[in-house]
Amino acid sequence: MLGLSVMRRLLISGGMRGLRLQQLLSEETLRHLQTSPHNTRHISTVSLWPFSSQPRDFSQPNSSWSPEMHKVYDNYNALCDTDIENGEEKRGPWRKLPSYNRSIKYATGGIHLSKLIQAKARLFTRNVKEQGATFEYVVFVNKEEKRCVCVFQAGRLLEGAPGHVHGGAIATMIDTVTGTLAGFLSGPVMTANLNIDYRNPMPLGSVVLIHSALDRIEGRKTYITCKVTSTDESKLYTESTALFVSISVGHLFGSRN
């Protein structure tokens, strides 16, 4: 219901069960969460974290990735490179986002908070330890163009009809990617609507692109469009729209605002 970037913004915007999490965030992390185009990559470096243990970033290449997954990842990763021109850093418009197995781990010290608050809970898309068995994905965001692209490899445990990916698994990735973009652009939001047209069944093992773009922002409402295609974009799997509504953290814990 809430993407990872959404949670990142959510955690700095208010308290949770009386605990004001933004007080736990380092200055560097806060800058990242405010989506400055120059610090997004820093979030995954060890230097940000005041504790010895660092949350594992699940969006790193691993041995379960197919050659196609590696190739598309490498293509987008290259767009994130930093060049030095006239002694100044010059970055491309793309950023790779890290991915943890709980939203709460985006806060500084979140790995420790995670042990205190519902310690056994795990993010739905990162809840199976075996690499490649369920969701393998990486989100790249382009702030200037207000869009993002997710590279997604669908594992064998996501079956619906024999040999094919469950519609709910595809909906899960659409919610995740559109929610990430909405949170990146609008701060703390909650999914209010998902409207998904399924065009073609997706075989297990497929590597696909999930393209997500801002349609418009109207007051508290952020409208996002999303298409899932083959990596060469010749085949369309789904077309969808998503609506997110800006919220306070209190909304999650009982308040209506």
- Which of the residues are catalytic? 175
Total residue length of the chain: 257
Give the span between the Cα atoms of 174 and 72, in whole angstroms.
Answer: 19
The torsion angles phi and psi of 194, rounded to 5 degrees, stand at -125, 125
Quick one: which of 13, 15, 16, 57 contacts a second copy (CB under 8 A)? Answer: 16
Non-local (6+) Cβ contacts of 164 within 8 A are 201, 202, 203, 204
User: Could you give the CA distance from residue 150 to residue 228 in angstroms, rounded to a whole number?
Assistant: 9
Least spacing, CB of residue 177 vs a second copy, in Å:
10
- Which of 123/185 has CB closer to a second copy? 123
The dihedral built from the CA positions of residue 239, 245, 248 and 254, taken in this order, carries a sign that is: negative
Q: With binding defined as CB under 8 A, does residue 7 bind a second copy?
A: yes
Q: Assess 55 for contact with a second copy (CB under 8 A).
A: no
Distance CA 91, CA 162 (A): 44
> Binding to a second copy by residue 193, rule CB under 8 A?
yes
How many residues belong to the site for a second copy (CB under 8 A)? 56
Q: Which residue has the tokens 């109207």?
A: 218
Q: Please report how close the Cβ of residue 98 comes to a second copy at its closest, in angstroms.
A: 17
Q: Which of residues 76-105 bind a second copy (CB under 8 A)?
A: 102-104
109 binds a second copy (CB under 8 A): no
Question: Which residues would be at the binding site for a second copy (CB under 8 A)?
Answer: 1-2, 6-7, 10, 16, 102-104, 117-118, 120-125, 127-128, 133-134, 156-176, 179, 190-198, 201, 204, 251-252
